[in-house]
A and B are shown apart, each in its own frame.
Chain A
């Protein structure tokens, strides 16, 4: 079933030491490895056989579903389409994530296309980690897409993390917010070497009283490059905020383009963006507490990407 590499990947992307309790679906090298449903959470393959449909019953409380993907097959580019249908007033945590182990010179990649229909008053927490490992020189690519539709009063909190080892990432996040709904996105991306990562975010604040907060934290080491686009499109009385911070280390580069569109007189939109090296006063403070320069840098980055 799970070999040592699988276990290590699962631990990293889904914090799983073994098979999880509750509902789960583990996909390995493009195929279903293991699945379990629960009384309130159903998982089934979609009609085309290209992914899964996860249905959470209305009113479900405090349940979680794990849907990790692991790849260790040289030359494979795995594309999966997953749909999440979250019933009214349900509260659920979804842990996704993709771990790639590349042991050869052939490329490996994964594109997870996830759409979420979040019912009235439902609350979903979505945690996604991306990670690649292995000694192989093959290029590791991860191109995730998430599309979120929030019904009236729905809450979605999304934590999107790319930890390390991913050569190329091209992410697309789209969201449409209904009345009084709330969307919180926190994206953390660390790149190194010659890696590149692009994140494109289009958030439409459609319903009255909708609120969205998009936080992006980027660290570029080596010669890596990250590009961040975020658009908040306010079509009603609403509140939207974009906060994007990038820390440059070594010769990393960054382009950040927050964009605010107010299509309604009562829209309130704000953004703050910063790009730069680690602030020297932060380094000095931590060194004055006894850390060395390198330890201080690590501690600051660790907190920044926490």
Chain B
């Protein structure tokens, strides 16, 4: 059973044991506009919470995606290289960015559940 949590920077994390699948929210993609390029972290990179982990480029601008938790990058989504527009069409599904092996699950403490995130973006 996975639980989905959200950050105030508009990332979602699907938690399965000590692995989190990370992407940006549908609200975030709607704000960014048409995504034309996604830069993903290198496999095996150790990310510290809140450091820039990925970059989303729209026609207009580049936006950083911050590591929502600390840990090691286990996997990145190969489909985003050939089809960055997936971020617009399925932000919280097929357009996941990376999977991270969490170093410290207590970092999840400050994150929001879906109801709290909805209130945050309302």
Same assembly: no
Binding site for A on B (CB under 8 A): none
Binding site for B on A (CB under 8 A): none
